């Protein structure tokens, strides 16, 4: 537990030090000068909780208990994050080499990026790689699946709300844009966002300001925006489902991720990567695969793209009885048919 106001070192500085050098330790910030802005900053920097003085004993004990219980989860989460930093986009096809070259160039800037491509092709991975290789890599990476949030809640999710803004708003809520300040926000499936929410996102991009639902106060946000969609936004603009001015704001840099069928030459590399990954994650004996089985997998129609290939490799690893996955195993267990 750490106070905010201290005679020599500021509590926020202590928090930053602990988060950087001792990430396994949950930190609860305590302050007699409690305000929403300080609480938001503490949580954004990695504090487990923020409590105002004088602390309520039950509230304090519950926070300590929760921090202890969640400590194992925090360690696992940071391990996963470390793995993601080491992870590269797998492939040596012309399209993947071009994508990696674009990522290398655009990551050094704050330019907005629009990633297009079919579901399961790896758009999220491209967004993560841009963030990881940027100057914002120590800041948060906040992902928002616009298609999964009801249209009536999307504005509250993105921009937050104040207490009493609507019937169920029983307390102030921090939105995704505010939580991502200093880092990157990834707006996945942005083609499914409502027109009213699009107009507010446009304002945030133009003015770097947001307004919480129910508030007239502007909040400054320092956020890099990366968006992705599996839709043809130019066709959506013609159908009046997407704002043209927002499209041009987002598409400073466009990256198209090809389907797996368009880069089937990468399938052997992906198979090798997935077999290693599955063996490591499940702690099972590593399984190899016959060349003839790999060639057969290259002939399949991968409508689910890389995500589907990963699932098939896990299925083959589990169901094949031998240490080497054979062509017969692929025929028997993959559930796939040749093109």
Q: Please write the tens of the pLDDT for every residue from 226-255.
A: 999 999 999 999 999 999 999 999 999 999
Res 67 pLDDT > 90: no
Res 256 pLDDT > 90: yes
Question: Residue 97 has what pLDDT?
Answer: 95
Res 85 pLDDT > 60: no
- For tokens 């080499």, the residue is 97
Question: Residue 84 has what pLDDT?
Answer: 47
Q: Please write the tens of the pLDDT for every residue from 135-184.
A: 998 889 999 999 888 878 888 889 988 888 887 778 888 889 999 989 99
DSSP annotation of 257? P
Enter the pTM of the model.
Answer: 0.73
CA–CA dist 257, 300 (Å, integer):
19
The class of domain 2-85 in CATH terms is alpha beta
CA 216 vs. chain centroid, Å, equals: 29
Q: Where in the chain are the domains? A: 2-85, 87-256, 260-333
- For tokens 């027109």, the residue is 195
The CATH number that domain 260-333 falls under is 1.10.8.60
The CATH number that domain 87-256 falls under is 3.40.50.300
Q: What percent of the chain has a predicted confidence (pLDDT) above 90?
A: 53
**SS3 assignment, position 30:** strand
pLDDT confidence bin for 329, thresholds 50/70/90: very high
Domains 2-85 and 260-333 share a fold: no
Give long-range contacts, CB 8 A cutoff, 24+ apart: 215-219: 215/161, 215/162, 215/165, 219/178
């Amino acid at each position: 537990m750490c106070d905010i106001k201290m005679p020599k070192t500021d509590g926020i500085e202590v928090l930053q030090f602990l988060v950087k050098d001792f990430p396994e330790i949950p930190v609860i910030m305590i302050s007699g000068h409690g305000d929403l802005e300080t609480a938001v900053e503490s949580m954004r920097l990695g504090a487990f909780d923020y409590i105002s003085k004088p602390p309520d004993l039950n509230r304090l004990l519950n926070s300590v208990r929760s921090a202890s219980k969640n400590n194992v989860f925090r360690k696992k989460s940071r391990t996963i994050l470390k793995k993601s930093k080491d992870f590269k986009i797998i492939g040596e096809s012309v399209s993947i080499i071009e994508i990696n070259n674009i990522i290398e160039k655009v990551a050094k800037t704050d330019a907005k990026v629009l990633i297009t491509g079919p579901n399961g092709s790896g758009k999220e991975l491209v967004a993560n790689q841009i963030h990881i290789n940027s100057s914002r890599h120590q800041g948060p990476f906040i992902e928002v699946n616009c298609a999964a949030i009801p249209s009536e809640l999307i504005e509250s999710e993105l921009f937050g709300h104040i207490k009493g803004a609507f019937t169920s708003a029983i307390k102030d809520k921090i939105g995704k844009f505010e939580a991502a300040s200093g880092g990157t926000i990834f707006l996945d499936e942005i083609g499914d966002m409502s027109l009213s929410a699009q107009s507010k996102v446009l304002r945030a991009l133009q003015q770097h300001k947001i307004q919480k639902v129910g508030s007239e106060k502007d909040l400054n946000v320092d956020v890099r925006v990366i968006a992705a969609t599996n839709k043809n936004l130019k066709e959506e603009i013609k159908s009046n489902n997407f704002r043209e001015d927002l499209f041009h704001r987002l598409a400073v840099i466009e990256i198209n991720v090809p389907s797996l069928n368009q880069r089937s030459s990468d399938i052997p590399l992906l198979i090798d990567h997935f077999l290693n990954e599955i063996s490591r994650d499940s702690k099972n004996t590593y399984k190899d695969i016959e060349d003839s089985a790999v060639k057969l997998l290259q002939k399949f129609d991968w409508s689910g793209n890389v995500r589907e290939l990963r699932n098939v490799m896990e299925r083959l690893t589990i169901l094949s009885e031998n240490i080497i996955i054979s062509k017969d195993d692929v025929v028997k267990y993959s559930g796939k048919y040749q093109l």
